[in-house]
Homo-oligomer: A and B are copies of this chain.
Amino acid sequence: MSIAPPSCPLSLALRKLESYGRFTDDDRGAFLSLPYLRQPTKAGTQIVLKGDVVRSCRIVIAGFAYRFKMVADGGRQIIAIHMAGDLLDLQHALMRVATHNVQMLTPGELAVIRMEPLEELARQRPAVQRALWLDTLIDGSIFSEWIANVGRRNARTRISHLLCEFATRMRAMGLIAANSYELPMTQEQLADATGLTPVHVNRVLQDLRRSGLIKSDRRTITIDDWQALSETGDFDPSYLRMPMAMAA
């Protein structure tokens, strides 16, 4: 289906982009020929700080990254979590100045791509241009679901929703097969993503385990009852806009 050798670091991102619309072999080849730098990262590495001037965009090759905002009283709100194949900060690169922070959640590796070649590619290849645009739109769609999640759902629902979203995205990217995955977040980070406190997250997780919805052994989350968890989490994946080809 794709001319990308599976070993190419950009092929996961390409697979995602071309799922948004038909790519020609030339489109694929041009994308894979983009010059990039491989940047191995440790857990906690700062990628972008609010206020930074950003002239390049990053694609996650391996590991997990997250974006967050700080509020006045020192609180931290995680606004997005990214996994292998995700474009990290096309937004920032297009708007030049960062409005929030980007950081690695786990050890991993990034591909750093300068914007000039990427924008040139977009100009010459409408399919790529459109795919990049759609990718940022889906990012926005996930944002809007998170507003509803932290704004109008209770703790149990919020956390269940996050676990379902995570599993669904991991499956769509082909990073896991079954409903079991390494959740790369501490309970404190889960709290920062759901607008709760670590203590309350802990209690809710215990409750979800007692109810038989999930098992969790260290960082491994196993969703025992997908039906029940997605109902508890009020989870309707349509906002993720996964094409049929990837939902499988």
Contacts and interface: CB of A to CB of B under 8 A. Distances in A.
Nearest to A138: B95
B152 A195 contact: yes
Contacts of A138: 95
A76 interface: yes
Contacts of A148: 69, 71, 77, 79
Contact of A241 (B67, B95, B153, B194): B95
Contact of A136 (B71, B75, B80, B133): B133
Interface in A116-157: 123, 126, 129, 133-134, 136-141, 143-148, 150-153, 157
Using C-beta atoms within 8 Å of the partner chain, give the interface range for chain A.
35 or more
A110 to B, nearest CB: 21
B91 A141 contact: yes
| Secondary structure dominating the interface of A | helix
B91 A151 contact: no
Given A72-B234, A152-B195, A234-B71, A94 B133 contact: yes
A91 B146 contact: no
A106 interface: no
A80 to B, nearest CB: 8
Interface string A80-105: 10000000000100110101100000
A7 interface: no
29 contacts: A67-B144, A69-B144, A71-B153, A71-B234, A72-B153, A72-B157, A77-B147, A77-B152, A79-B144, A79-B148, A91-B137, A91-B141, A94-B134, A95-B134, A95-B137, A95-B141, A95-B241, A99-B239, A100-B239, A123-B126, A136-B137, A137-B140, A140-B140, A140-B143, A143-B147, A150-B151, A151-B194, A151-B195, A152-B195
Q: Which 5 A-B pairs have the closest CB atoms?
A: A151-B195, A140-B140, A143-B143, A150-B151, A72-B234
